[in-house]
């Protein structure tokens, strides 16, 4: 089978993967099955922890039209190495073997200590394995899950909205609204796709945020991230962050690594840090930020209320250098995504 056919099939599998939830402990995975002529005859994607994996969904799709186990010559194209362990579901590698799949194609290895090894099981059972098709594209799409796995902590996205001169509020403390409507909705969509949102006790006491994810009509999304308050100050139960729209915990710690350790125990894969400036600065100083998302509004405010406090950087040679990976206009605001 020609590489272009495999790349086209992998592209479709990557598209299917995005239909699954971005949140949750499991990765987004898609799969297609090709017949002997290279045509896509079945599709599947993973719908979240505890549900069938993408490979099994594709197998079930194909079973609706042909007899099982399948005749020789079928190829499964999956966005991640098929798993090799019994977790909430059985090993996908064995499911592919049992189905009679002749060839399995995937772009990247599973980095998990328990789940890896599917490729070897397939080879040991006579299945041809092809690795590396659209590797870089697949790695980019799965970067949150891969980073969380490799670092054994949540992937951390740090987000703020500021004026062009880096202020998150006016001198009198007012901040509604620095960013425009499109930026605010984009931030809600970002919340919808993460496992947890974090702010400090200072932000809760000063702004009384609800920290929920809502659509353009103001309705709550079905998935609401865990709300996390970091800090030791007491927060009264009548604050909006303790309403019944989502779960909330307070982690009484000042060290962000302690917070991440606790969230790792709770299987948080993706953490969105929203502030305030003291919390933001602590995560940066401790080298615990994987991605920055900044909404820049065409305003000048001046004054002391900066997005970031002192980072202990004495000169330009010690500056924290970032790589801009995405930029776009949202209404009148500039959206910037950057990484280390």
- The verdict on residue 147 lying in a domain is no
Q: CA quadruple 79, 81, 87, 92: dihedral positive or negative?
A: positive
- The verdict on residue 227 lying in a domain is yes
Residue 327 has pLDDT above 70, yes or no: yes
Distance separating alpha carbons of residues 213 and 225, to the nearest angstrom:
8
Q: Is residue 199 domain-shared with residue 261, that is, in the same domain?
A: yes
Distance separating alpha carbons of residues 36 and 57, to the nearest angstrom:
20
Indicate the pLDDT class of residue 173, thresholds 50, 70 and 90.
confident
The pLDDT value recorded for residue 273 is: 98
Q: Is residue 69 domain-shared with residue 138, that is, in the same domain?
A: yes
Residue 270, classified by CB atoms within 10 Å of its CB into exposed (0-12), middle (13-18) or buried (19+), is buried
Q: Is residue 123 domain-shared with residue 174, that is, in the same domain?
A: no
DSSP reduced 3-state for 109: coil
Q: Is residue 183 domain-shared with residue 298, that is, in the same domain?
A: yes
Q: Is residue 133 domain-shared with residue 8, that is, in the same domain?
A: yes
Q: Is residue 194 domain-shared with residue 255, that is, in the same domain?
A: yes
DSSP reduced 3-state for 108: coil
- The verdict on residue 37 lying in a domain is yes
- The verdict on residue 105 lying in a domain is yes
Lowest mean pLDDT, pick from 15-19, 143-147, 176-180, 264-268:
176-180
Domain residues for the domain of 122 are 3-142
Lowest mean pLDDT, pick from 184-188, 314-318, 328-332:
314-318
Q: Is residue 19 domain-shared with residue 130, that is, in the same domain?
A: yes
Please identify, among 119, 142, 165, the residue that sits at the C-terminal boundary of a domain.
142
Upper half-sphere CA count for residue 209 (Cβ side, 13 Å) = 21
User: What does residue 18 show for φ and ψ, rounded to 5 degrees?
Assistant: -70, -10
Q: What is the CATH number of the domain that holds 251?
A: 3.40.430.10
The pLDDT value recorded for residue 198 is: 98
Most distant CA pair in the chain: distance in Å? Answer: 72
| DSSP state at residue 220 | B
Terminal-residue alpha carbon distance, the chain: 39
Closest CA to 183 of 295, 31, 106, 100: 295
Please identify, among 120, 142, 164, the residue that sits at the C-terminal boundary of a domain.
142
- The verdict on residue 128 lying in a domain is yes
pLDDT in tens, 52-62: 999 999 999 99
Closest CA to 13 of 57, 44, 49, 52: 44
Q: Is residue 9 domain-shared with residue 55, that is, in the same domain?
A: yes
Length of the chain: 340
* Percentage of the residues of the chain whose pLDDT score is greater than 70: 98
- The verdict on residue 148 lying in a domain is no
pLDDT in tens, 77-111: 999 999 987 766 679 999 999 999 999 999 999 99
- Cβ(325)–Cβ(191) under 8 Å? no
The pLDDT value recorded for residue 1 is: 65
**What distance lies between CA 264 and its chain's CA centroid?**
14
- The verdict on residue 134 lying in a domain is yes
Helix segments in 161-252, DSSP class H: 181-192, 201-207
Q: Which helix (H) or strand (E) holds 155?
A: strand 155-163
Q: Is residue 160 domain-shared with residue 287, that is, in the same domain?
A: yes
Q: Is residue 193 domain-shared with residue 138, that is, in the same domain?
A: no
Please identify, among 108, 142, 176, the residue that sits at the C-terminal boundary of a domain.
142
The pLDDT value recorded for residue 103 is: 98
The pLDDT value recorded for residue 119 is: 95
Closest CA to 166 of 2, 299, 318, 6: 299
Closest CA to 201 of 176, 227, 163: 227
Closest CA to 211 of 235, 103, 233: 235
| Mean pLDDT computed over every residue of the chain | 95
Q: Is residue 188 domain-shared with residue 79, that is, in the same domain?
A: no
Q: Is residue 130 domain-shared with residue 209, that is, in the same domain?
A: no
Residue 330: strand pairing partners: 333
Q: CA quadruple 186, 187, 188, 189: dihedral positive or negative?
A: positive
- Cβ(101)–Cβ(82) under 8 Å? no
Number of domains in the chain: 2
pLDDT in tens, 234-248: 999 999 999 999 999
- Please give the model's pTM, rounded to 2 decimal places: 0.94
Q: What is the CATH number of the domain that holds 87?
A: 3.40.140.10
The pLDDT value recorded for residue 115 is: 65
- The verdict on residue 22 lying in a domain is yes
Residue 175 has pLDDT above 90, yes or no: no
Residue 228: strand pairing partners: 198, 249
Indicate the pLDDT class of residue 275, thresholds 50, 70 and 90.
confident
Give catalytic residue positions. Answer: 55
């Amino acid at each position: 089978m020609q590489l272009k056919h495999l790349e086209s099939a992998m592209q479709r599998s990557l598209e299917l993967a995005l239909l699954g939830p971005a949140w949750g402990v499991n990765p987004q995975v898609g799969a297609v099955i090709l017949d002997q002529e290279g045509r896509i005859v079945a599709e599947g994607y993973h719908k979240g922890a505890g549900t069938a994996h993408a490979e099994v969904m594709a197998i079930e799709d194909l079973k609706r039209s042909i007899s099982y186990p399948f005749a020789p010559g079928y190829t499964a194209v999956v966005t991640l190495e098929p798993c090799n362990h019994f977790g909430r579901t059985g090993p996908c590698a064995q499911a592919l073997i049992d189905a009679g799949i002749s060839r399995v194609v995937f772009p990247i290895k599973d980095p998990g200590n328990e789940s890896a090894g599917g490729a070897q099981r397939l080879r040991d059972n006579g299945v041809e394995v092809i690795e590396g098709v659209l590797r870089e594209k697949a790695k980019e799409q799965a970067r949150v899950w891969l980073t969380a796995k490799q670092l054994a902590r949540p992937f951390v996205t740090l987000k703020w909205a500021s004026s062009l001169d880096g202020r998150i509020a006016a001198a009198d403390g007012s901040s509604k609204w620095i960013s425009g409507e499109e930026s605010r909705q984009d931030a809600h969509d970002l919340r919808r796709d993460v496992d947890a949102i974090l702010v400090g006790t200072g932000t809760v006491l000063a702004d009384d945020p609800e920290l929920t994810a809502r659509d353009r009509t103001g309705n709550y999304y079905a998935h609401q991230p865990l709300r996390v308050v970091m800090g030791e100050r007491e927060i009264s139960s009548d604050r909006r962050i303790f309403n019944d729209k989502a779960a909330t915990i307070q982690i009484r710690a000042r060290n962000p690594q302690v917070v991440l350790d606790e969230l790792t125990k709770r299987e948080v894969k993706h953490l969105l840090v929203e502030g305030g400036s003291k919390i933001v600065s602590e995560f940066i100083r401790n080298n615990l930020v994987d991605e920055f998302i900044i909404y820049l509004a065409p305003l000048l405010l001046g004054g002391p209320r900066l997005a970031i406090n002192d980072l202990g950087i004495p000169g330009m040679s010690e500056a924290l250098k970032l790589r801009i990976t995405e930029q776009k206009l949202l209404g009148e605001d500039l959206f910037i995504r950057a990484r280390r």
